[in-house]
Amino acid sequence: MLVIVAPGQGAQSPGFLAPWLEDSDFRSRLESLSAAADLDLVWAGTEADADQIRATETAQPLLVATGIAAAAQLFPGVEPSLARADAVAGHSVGELTALAGAGVLTPDQAMVLVRERGRAMAEAAAVTPTGMTAVLGGDREEVLATIERHGLTAANDNGPGQVVAAGTTEQLDAFAADPPAKARVMPLSVAGAFHTEHMAPAVGRLADLAADVEPGDPATRVLSNKDGQVVDGGRDLLDRLVGQIASPVRWDLSLQTFADLGVTGILELPPAGTLTGIAKRALKGVDTFALKTPDQLDDARAFCAEHATQEATE
């Protein structure tokens, strides 16, 4: 059983798109997505420096466009592009990539939504100095209790040994000085406390925009970040995505659903590595494929053919 996943903010790095843009079809598709996002994504993926590519309003459209364009390269001629996967899921903003790949949104709809999502979240983050810190290791219950004691939110629960705490910089500084036992804390290079109450202003803005979108129903299973469950309706998926801006990402529950569904292979769209790394730790025995560069496409197609069910490949 094949699951295809799309990474969230923080997976990008300066220049990561350079090898992909050597392909004329990929470049043409990215330029079209750039127009929909009103942002030069070719520049962002090749010339932007670490600070520029870190900016929320740049990083989010860049990640979604990369995933959409790479999915079209992986399954040329297939519409929607990820229909041959048995299930799809995206981490945080990667959900927009997953919804486009499953046919819930058109690529242009996804790009307009991610453009406004990024802008709204950047504006919300500018109101109060906030941030996010990864907590690696430690006893899960103690980690969660310490996060709560410092007034923080467990904004990302990524599975065994990896929780992301989010809140004000003052709260995060106090947390760093008094961390959970046997845990390592690592500040993340993000612009705000995403998936917390600090993002509430962005929810209303995106909800207004999403209300005018007519989503389709998914062509394959789509898992929601809200609770890791498979959701059948396009409108429900879109509403969940909007609300997710200010509520925690439960990737741990998505991992459990992958296991319950009997997944045998997980392929991560570029910029890949984060989610397959988590899967290797959480889902022992499941094959993973991190699609990072275009010279891996033939091997990636073979991986998909090996793991997709007969129904998915016909």
pLDDT of residue 313: 40
Residues 153 and 24 in one domain: no
Residue partners of 279: CB distance under 8 A and separation at least 6: 255, 258, 266, 286, 288
- Give catalytic residue positions: 92, 195
Residues 112 and 216 in one domain: yes
Residues 106 and 152 in one domain: no
The whole-model pTM stands at 0.95
Spell out where the chain has E strands. Answer: 2-6, 87-90, 130-137, 153-157, 162-168, 183-187, 221-222, 249-250, 265-268, 287-290
Task: Tell me the residue type at 221.
Answer: R
- Mean pLDDT (the chain) is 95
Which tens digit of pLDDT belongs to each residue from 62-115? 999 999 999 999 999 999 999 999 999 999 999 999 999 999 999 999 999 999
Residues 43 and 91 in one domain: yes
Residues 176 and 201 in one domain: no
Residues 257 and 306 in one domain: yes
Residues 178 and 215 in one domain: no
In three-state secondary structure terms, 166 is strand
Q: Within a domain: residue 266?
A: yes
Q: Within a domain: residue 192?
A: no
Residues 208 and 166 in one domain: no
Q: Within a domain: residue 43?
A: yes
- DSSP element (H, E) containing 275: helix 274-282
CATH code for the domain in which residue 147 is found: 3.30.70.250
Judge whether residue 202 has pLDDT over 80. yes
Find the domain containing 221 and state its range.
2-125+197-313
Residues 142 and 239 in one domain: no
Which tens digit of pLDDT belongs to each residue from 220-247? 999 999 999 999 999 999 999 999 999 9
Domain count for the chain, please give it.
2
Report, in angstroms and rounded to the nearest whole number, the Rg of the chain calculated over CA atoms: 18
